[in-house]
Amino acid sequence: MTSGVLASSALERSEKAALIAALAIALIAAATLAGAWFFQFVLDIRPCPLCLEQRYAYYLAIPLAALTALAAGRNAPRALVLGGLLLLALAALGNAVLGTYHAGVEWGFWQGPTDCSGPVGNLGSAGTLLERLDTAKVIRCDEVQWRFLGLSLAGYNVLISLLMAAIAAWGIAASVRRS
């Protein structure tokens, strides 16, 4: 009887660790996107193409982490929960690599992509083309628009992505260890 209670308790802790990890990742990803939107829409610090690509991992992480938390909270098959955490860890690690690449471009360690000249939208008629080009704000990937404590937003993305990957790894390790 006691071993059954201990096994049940270990299983509950395992599910709780996965739930906590998934919820933490969802909250961190949502806060990070909210911060990026604050910089963009309130402070008028516009993102370059690499900045926008780094947001994709967060757009994936929020619903995936929420679904993983829901699965962990509803006693879904453990493989499903662990798979969700593994996907979250891989997405975060991939985003950390992309953020490192972007920070390296900003520091001049290597050449950035050639498409970092900003989006080209509807330029209107030929008569207003020069006027529109004069008012277009070109966002370059190799120019830092904001730094705090020596790090750009790309640098902070690396740290946040590594934190999310570490939380996912903790959730996986705690779930596997307690089984």
Please write the tens of the pLDDT for every residue from 137-168: 667 767 767 667 877 888 899 999 999 999 99
- Cα-Cα-Cα-Cα dihedral of 21, 22, 24, 26, to 10°? 160
Instruction: Please report, for the chain, the start and end positions of each structural domain, with discontinuous segments joined by +.
Output: 8-113+141-177
Of the listed ranges 19-33, 47-61, 148-162, the least confidently predicted one is 148-162
Question: What's the CATH fold of domain 8-113+141-177?
Answer: Bromodomain-like (1.20.1550)
Residue type, 164: M
CA 8/CA 28 separation, integer angstroms: 30
- Written as one string, the DSSP assignment of 55-71 is HHHHHHHHHHHHHHHHH
Count of CB atoms situated within 10 Å of the CB of 44: 9
**pLDDT band, very low/low/confident/very high, at 108 (cuts 50, 70, 90):** confident
105: tokens are 């471009």
pLDDT, position 119: 45
